[in-house]
Amino acid sequence: MDSNFGAQLPSMKTLPPGPRSLELASRLQDVESRNVTWLSEDFPVFWDLAFGSNVSDVDGNVYVDLTSAFGVAFAGHSHPSIRIAMDEQAKCLVHGMGDIHPSLSKVKLMEALATLAPWKETRTVLASSGTEAIEIALKTAQLHTGKAGVIAFKGAYHGLTLGSLSVTDRKDFRNPFVDRLLETTKFVSFPSSDDEVARVLTEIGSILTESETSGIPIGAIVIEPIQGRGGVRIPPEGFLQDLKALSKATGVLLIFDEIFTGLGRSGVVFESEVAGVIPDLICLGKALGGGLPLSACLGSRSVMEAWPENQGEAIHTSTFLGHPLSCATALSFLNILKSEGLVLGSVKKGQYLLASLRASLGSSCHIHEVRGRGLLVGIELRTETGEPWKGQGARVARQALRKGLIVLPAGRYGEVVQLSPAATITEKQIDFAVACLSDIILGRDL
Ligand SMILES: Cc1ncc(COP(=O)(O)O)c(C=O)c1O
């Protein structure tokens, strides 16, 4: 392996997927449920090694990863300090009994989270995946308000377990299970202009009033401060403040799903720093575990005290809650966030990435918008007639893979190319990514 692996540019030995990837795809097809991994002639490649912003596959091809694997590897893949923390913890305690006989690393992690959180006194429930953190937030809101109804936003992605799926707005995920989804969610538009803000706030106000007299009373509003899978959609300035004011006036809890945006991805530790609003609950996941599965629902002590005191049995828990190894890697990640200035890095590199993309893509009729904050960036693609270019994000991702670049599609119609690189990505790697995406999108390479 190149000594510069982590900060290097792509090096392709085969046209991906190479023979070993194809062989593994064929074996996988024989054992995995068919709904899980998309397998085709030109997709996927099987990962073998990952460090920094490089990934190599089983055929020895080296890629630049502009996804940090779903936004998880914000400090870069396999950060040396996280690996040390993992080794140290693994020597003594890998798994414990989270809510029965907890570990030191669980206590330390929750203390660290409390120092970052926007409330004076913070209480946290840990879990393993983002979707579980959302479940906890929804349960908390119901306990606190006594109301089961929720307002969520069109285009939202909060996870796929039944509670979180009920607030996720994607037909392909919902339709097969629609009979089991709670009829407690009202979806409203995610605003993209000031005009829309006024309309959406009025609509929310009406739903809140109507739900008190008919239907299921609303106890929570759940929002991604920037929609991630929905296509990197940023609401107009001031919207989150207005939403907070409305939720406060009506006694409804405001839940920020910061599973993607949180801990530096969007250029701040928590979105509440930008918006100047403090939500009632914050959900974290993805980057939190430093590469291991870990999520959390955080709230102020007063909100979280809606949960009854444990009388010998936790009424919400799970086998891996407070997993010692994940808590140790999370602690290490939070230390790196501070010691390596990753939040500022996200701001600066995000600005560089956005500016380079805008300059390079120019004003092509296929570019509707290049937008983002921090290192969460989206390129929205349009057809020549100005319609969302359905499925084009995935086509760009497949083309990019052949050139050694890993990106993901996003958006309701798959019309967005989503970029969420590590905060440790180099300028050279960004320059390569911008040139590669521009060639593909501007058709210089098709
Ligand atoms: C904003 C947001 N919320 C929730 C989730 C669900 O997290 P997980 O896939 O870990 O369950 C995701 C995953 O992409 C997400 O982006």
Q: Is the CB of 129 under 6 A from ligand 1?
A: yes
Residues in CB range of 48: below 8 A, 6 or more apart: 56, 57, 58
- Nearest atom in ligand 1 to the alpha carbon of residue 131 is 11
Q: Is the CB of 159 under 6 A from ligand 1?
A: yes
CB 388 within 8 A of CB 415: yes
Residues in CB range of 206: below 8 A, 6 or more apart: none
- Phi, psi of 426, rounded to the nearest 5 degrees: -90, 160
**Ligand 1 centroid, distance to 352 Cα (angstroms):** 26
Q: Is the CB of 157 under 6 A from ligand 1?
A: yes
Q: How far apart are CA 147 and CA 220, in angstroms?
A: 8
Predicted confidence at residue 446, as pLDDT, reads 45
Chain-centroid distance of CA 199 in Å reads 27
Q: How far apart are CA 144 and CA 123, in angstroms?
A: 14
CATH of 19-76+342-441, one of 3.90.1150.10, 2.70.98.40, 3.40.50.2300, 3.40.1350.10: 3.90.1150.10
Work out the number of other CB atoms within 10 angstroms of the CB of residue 80. 14
As given in the structure block, the two tokens for residue 51 are: 């460090």
Is the bond preceding 225 in cis, omega lying within 30 degrees of 0?
no
Q: Is the CB of 10 under 6 A from ligand 1?
A: no
Kindly state the helix (H) or strand (E) to which residue 298 belongs, with its residue range.
strand 295-300
Q: How far apart are CA 234 and CA 173, in angstroms?
A: 23
Q: How far apart are CA 188 and CA 218, in angstroms?
A: 13
pLDDT in tens, 394-443: 999 999 999 999 999 999 999 999 999 999 999 999 999 999 999 999 98
Q: How far apart are CA 224 and CA 233, in angstroms?
A: 9
**Ligand 1 centroid, distance to 391 Cα (angstroms):** 21
Q: Which of 72, 131, 190, 408 to mutate to test the pocket of ligand 1 (most atoms within 8 A of CB)?
A: 131
Report domain extents, the chain: 19-76+342-441, 80-339
Q: Is the CB of 231 under 6 A from ligand 1?
A: no
**Ligand 1 centroid, distance to 250 Cα (angstroms):** 28
pLDDT by residue, tens only, the chain of 446 residues: 788 999 999 999 999 999 999 999 999 999 999 999 999 999 999 999 999 999 999 999 999 999 999 999 999 999 999 999 999 999 999 999 999 999 999 999 999 999 999 999 999 999 999 999 999 999 999 999 999 999 999 999 999 999 999 999 999 999 999 999 978 999 999 999 999 999 999 999 999 999 888 889 999 999 999 999 999 999 999 999 999 999 999 999 999 999 999 999 999 999 989 878 999 999 999 999 999 999 999 999 999 999 999 999 999 999 999 999 999 999 999 999 999 999 999 999 999 999 999 999 988 889 999 999 999 999 999 999 999 999 999 999 999 999 999 999 999 999 999 999 999 999 999 999 999 999 999 987 54
Q: How far apart are CA 380 and CA 231, in angstroms?
A: 8
Q: Is the CB of 260 under 6 A from ligand 1?
A: yes
**Ligand 1 centroid, distance to 4 Cα (angstroms):** 32
385: exposed, middle or buried (Cβ count in 10 Å: 0-12, 13-18, 19+): exposed
What topology does CATH give the domain 80-339? Aspartate Aminotransferase; domain 2 (3.40.640)
Return the bridge partners of 256, or none.
223, 282
Q: How far apart are CA 256 and CA 262, in angstroms?
A: 10
Q: Is the CB of 224 under 6 A from ligand 1?
A: yes
Q: Which of 260, 376, 420 to mutate to test the pocket of ligand 1 (most atoms within 8 A of CB)?
A: 260
Cα dist from 196 to 13, 190, 193, 271, 409, whole Å: 50, 8, 5, 21, 26
Predicted confidence at residue 445, as pLDDT, reads 58
**Ligand 1 centroid, distance to 159 Cα (angstroms):** 5
Chain-centroid distance of CA 106 in Å reads 23
Q: Which of 158, 233, 265, 320 to mutate to test the pocket of ligand 1 (most atoms within 8 A of CB)?
A: 158
85: exposed, middle or buried (Cβ count in 10 Å: 0-12, 13-18, 19+): buried
CB 417 within 8 A of CB 339: no
Nearest-CA neighbor of 257 among 227, 292, 287? Answer: 227
**Ligand 1 centroid, distance to 36 Cα (angstroms):** 16
pTM of the model: 0.97
**Ligand 1 centroid, distance to 339 Cα (angstroms):** 27
Residues in CB range of 112: below 8 A, 6 or more apart: 331, 334
**Ligand 1 centroid, distance to 148 Cα (angstroms):** 22
**Ligand 1 centroid, distance to 154 Cα (angstroms):** 16
Q: Count CA atoms within 13 Å of residue 414 on its CB side.
A: 11
Q: Is the CB of 229 under 6 A from ligand 1?
A: yes
Q: How far apart are CA 444 and CA 409, in angstroms?
A: 20
Q: Is the CB of 163 under 6 A from ligand 1?
A: no
Q: Whose CA is nearest to atom 3 of ligand 1?
A: 158
Kindly state the DSSP code that residue 77 receives in the 8-state scheme. Answer: B
Cα dist from 235 to 168, 352, 432, whole Å: 18, 22, 30
CB 412 within 8 A of CB 391: no
